[in-house]
Copies of this chain bind each other. A is one copy, B any other.
Amino acid sequence: MSKEATIPSARQVELLEAAYQYALAHGLADLSLRPLASAIGSSPRVLMFLFGNKDGLVKALLARARTDELTVLDHLAQAGQPIGLAPAVEQIWAWLATEEHRPLLRLWAEAYTRSLVEPDGAWAGFARATVNDWLDVLATCQPQPERDSEDGATRRTLALAVLRGALLDLLATDDERRASAAVHHQLALLRVVLTDSRRNADRPARQP
């Protein structure tokens, strides 16, 4: 019987929640047990007892952040409804750009790059996991047959890239006007080629 398979006790989820709030405020990079424990009214001894070791605690925190992110994504994109990629991007961006979500997104970015540099240990696979999480959600927003086509995969990869690139910019510069303008510029681009392809469907392209 592995220790991770045991269901979390009430005290465990309580302390995890407190530790999560602390991590949102202070980051994960130089997280250490004693300051964390004293901040959330606990002790290193108790954290060790409940999470096994520090790695277990960090893993639990990352898992906590990931579920946060996933529930939000599922909600936003109205998962299962093929509303199309562009509306999904618009909704997701509106959520990303909200100021009160910055701590979570900073934490996410930190865990992401950390897992790139240090592929072993508690962070292992976090980056790859979130890429797949987001791509999956975006996929459910695409109508068939686009969803299963290779072109569809390229489209949602691009959509994800725009979202994350703009997010990185936003986190660094706090210039929401410019970042949002870029995202909406992309949405306008997509709209143009859509109407263009419809027009071309009505009338064959001019011969040069």
CA distance A193 to B196 in the complex (A): 8
* Binary contact track A144-175/B, C-beta < 8 Å → 1, others 0: 00000000011101101111111011011100
What's the nearest-Cβ distance from chain B to residue A121, in Å?
10
Beta-carbon contacts under 8 Å, A168-208 to B: 168-169, 171-173, 178-179, 181-183, 185-186, 189-190, 192-193, 196, 199, 206
- Which of B29, B164, B181, B206 has a CB less than 8 Å from the CB of A114? B29
Beta-carbon contacts under 8 Å, A20-62 to B: 27, 29-30
Contacts of A65 in B (CB 8 A): none
- Whether the Cβ atoms of A112 and B165 lie closer than 8 Å is no
- Whether the Cβ atoms of B164 and A168 lie closer than 8 Å is yes
- Asked if A117 is an interface residue, CB under 8 A from chain B, the answer is yes
Q: How many residues on the A side are at the interface (Cβ–Cβ under 8 A)?
A: 49
- Asked if A109 is an interface residue, CB under 8 A from chain B, the answer is yes
- Which of B29, B130, B155, B161 has a CB less than 8 Å from the CB of A29? B29
What's the nearest-Cβ distance from chain B to residue A140, in Å?
18
- Asked if A94 is an interface residue, CB under 8 A from chain B, the answer is no
- Whether the Cβ atoms of B161 and A165 lie closer than 8 Å is yes
CA distance A114 to B154 in the complex (A): 30
Contacts of A192 in B (CB 8 A): 192-193, 196
Contacts of A158 in B (CB 8 A): 162, 166, 182-183, 185-186
Contacts of A128 in B (CB 8 A): 172-173
- Which of B29, B173, B199 has a CB less than 8 Å from the CB of A117? B29
Query: Which of A30, A131, A168, A182 has the largest number of chain B CB atoms within 10 A?
Result: A168
CA distance A161 to B165 in the complex (A): 4
- Whether the Cβ atoms of B162 and A161 lie closer than 8 Å is yes
11 A-B pairs (CB sep. < 8 Å): A112-B113, A112-B172, A116-B171, A127-B168, A128-B172, A153-B178, A158-B166, A158-B182, A165-B166, A193-B193, A196-B196
